[in-house]
A and B are shown apart, each in its own frame.
Chain A
Amino acid sequence: MQHFILLLSYLIGSISFIIGLKMLSHPDTARKGNLYAAVGMTIAILATIFLYTDENGNHLGNYLWIFGGLIIGTVVGTMIAKKVQMTAMPQMVSLFNGMGGACAAIISIVEFRHFIHKQENPSTNLIEDAMNAIAGVLHPHATATHANDKLILLTILLGLVIGTVSFFGSMIAFGKLNGNINDKTLAGQQVINIGLLLIVIVLIVAILTGFIGISITALFWTLFVIAALYGILFVMPIGGADMPVVISLLNSFTGVAAAFGGFLYSNPVMLTGGILVGSAGTILTMLMCKAMNRSLTNVIVGAFGGNAAASGISADAGGAFKEISLSDSAVLMAYSKKVVIVPGYGLAVAQAQHICHELEKLLEEKGVEVCYAIHPVAGRMPGHMNVLLAEADVPYEKLKEMEEINPEFAQTDVVLILGANDVVNPAAKTDPASPIYGMPILEVENASHVIVNKRSMKPGYAGIENMLFFQPKTSMLFGDAKKVLQDLVSELKSM
């Protein structure tokens, strides 16, 4: 009966994940979907704690430790998640993703020790063996057949490798987005990465077949180190607009790692949850790549930031740029018919979303039509700008997606670019040598005037010069986005 309730809870958990994910992909139901998934997860966790039994019918022990861990994790997790700024969301997703990866890796480590222990102390009791074999139908990890042993070992190893790569990769991604780590490319990075992957495969084969005469425990730890190294080196050279893609990819990695855990324990909810995230995450990664018109291999092998400097256009090719004063900008916008605001990461960093909304309202009062042009990868993550502007109560209808807004630029008087750069770089259309060539962009150069607010002339995240800044119709308005917008608002108010 207990086992039945446990399985029923797992079924409820699996269904809640599916419905939750489905609802998460529609704006109206998204929040409820998240809640459903959370409830399903809670049911599955509680059922595991109280109802799970091993093949001999023993319940789980160590309740003090389990609840201690759950409480610590809940308190800390809630605190971090509540405290974090909206701009730091991408880092947070990466951080929590890393935690899941580490969890999967630790499970593999413990299960590996368990496995070795079992191998060294084989059961001599025939009846026990028979019992295990029967129990094995329900719990395949208990069967003593040789082939199944190898399979369990393979599952453990794959869980370890993927979990470890996911953890270390996520930590590097977190550090990069947080600004603690810079893009670094070693000479021959690709060769090293492929080499590491080959070593991983060789080590797995070696552990499974024992063709290298070293103890498999030593090989296991070597595998762990190599996987960690790969995780670090894999993310290290990737920079710029590609970070969200990497996080999404690592997200699906962790899903797969969780699914291996599901195999190990023949646990249906881990299996469905993990695989769902694995496949949904992969599709999401593809969608993001598509938004940037790049292939996944291109993202991983291309190493955006690193070798971009060589192929990008050099600064002197562009020549001079002109600056515009605050009052001139204010006048220009106030007497326009249509203003399009292009928000970018600069807006997010400066926390200028509220003041931006105020500017928009002021302009509307003056009879100017204002809307926002949202590039699919504006900011550091797709949807980043939408979340940010929604926080400042900007109406949903004012946020226009790229395909919708691009034809409208020709009728636009002023485009105000707030800390965006690569997403408006015309080199993506015109310069085949540019590393961002082929990425769809916001065609702001079709508007009558372009005002670019940036902190300096420094290139954007992709590390390349933007020809747009040197065009005659473009004016630069230097300064922190928040400060500049505040000044613009007071200029407009005094007009």
Chain B
Amino acid sequence: MEQIIQFFSDNYNMVTIVILSIFLGIEVIGRVPSVLHTPLMSGANAIHGVVIIGAIIVMGQAAPDNYLAIILGFLAVILGTLNVVGGFVVTDRMLEMFSKKKQKK
């Protein structure tokens, strides 16, 4: 019990962020026209690419003689970048079609 209280007061800010973010995520999505389900999923997919920041920290903190950490970190940076860049570009391509059509009208 003491540990839980300790954890809660130590990480109070983070717990708050998590709980508010959960509600925010639900609120933000709310009512989406089904037309946008795929682009939205793709956009959200790009956003969780934020995990790249963890990869950068891992990479940046790897000791120069720790080859395994370097290789893993490097791989993580590449994969994370793929997620971010690929995600945003694919989403943009999908949405481009909606706006292209709008201009013509």
Contacts and interface: CB of A to CB of B under 8 A. Distances in A.
Interface of A: 13, 17-18, 20-22, 24-27, 30-31, 33-35, 37-38, 41, 44-45, 48-49, 52, 54, 59-63, 65-66, 68-70, 72-74, 76-78, 80-82, 84, 86, 89-90, 92-93, 95-97, 99-100, 102-104, 106-107, 109-111, 113-114, 137, 140, 143, 145, 147-148, 151, 244, 247-248, 251-252, 254-255, 257-259, 261-284, 287-288, 291, 374, 376, 381-384, 386-387, 390-391, 393, 395-396, 399, 401
A259 B25 CA distance: 13
B28 A387 contact: no
A254 B51 contact: yes
B29 A259 contact: no
B51 A270 contact: yes
Contacts of A277: 25, 44-45, 47-48
A147 B60 contact: no
B57 A265 contact: yes
Contacts of B17: 268, 271-272, 275
Given A103-B76, A276-B25, A82 B53 contact: no
Contacts of B86: 77-78, 80-81, 92, 95-96, 99
Contact of B95 (A34, A44, A99, A251): A34
30 contacts: A21-B25, A24-B39, A25-B30, A25-B32, A31-B92, A65-B62, A70-B81, A73-B79, A73-B82, A81-B85, A92-B42, A92-B86, A93-B90, A95-B86, A103-B54, A107-B51, A110-B72, A145-B6, A148-B7, A254-B45, A255-B44, A258-B50, A265-B57, A283-B25, A284-B32, A287-B32, A287-B34, A386-B34, A386-B35, A396-B98
Given A258-B51, A391-B97, A99 B79 contact: yes
A74 B70 CA distance: 19
Contacts of B69: 110, 113-114
A89 to B, nearest CB: 7
A262 to B, nearest CB: 8
A70 B57 CA distance: 13
B92 A34 contact: yes
A383 B40 CA distance: 10
Contacts of B96: 31
A385 B98 CA distance: 12
Contacts of B78: 69, 72-73, 76
B56 A66 contact: yes
Nearest to B66: A113
A275 B25 contact: yes
Contacts of A267: 53-54, 57
A288 B37 contact: yes
B88 to A, nearest CB: 4
Interface string B16-52: 0110011111101111111111111111111111111
Contact of A376 (B21, B34, B59): B34
B101 A393 contact: yes
A22 B95 CA distance: 15
Contacts of A266: 14
Contact of A82 (B45, B47, B55, B89): B89
Given A69-B74, A151-B7, A381-B41, A31 B95 contact: yes
Given A89-B90, A276-B25, A279-B21, A54 B36 contact: no
A372 B96 CA distance: 21
Contacts of B38: 89-90, 93, 244, 381-384, 386-387
Nearest to A35: B92
A279 B22 contact: yes
A105 B37 CA distance: 27
A264 B54 contact: yes
Nearest to A402: B34
Contact of B89 (A68, A78, A393): A78
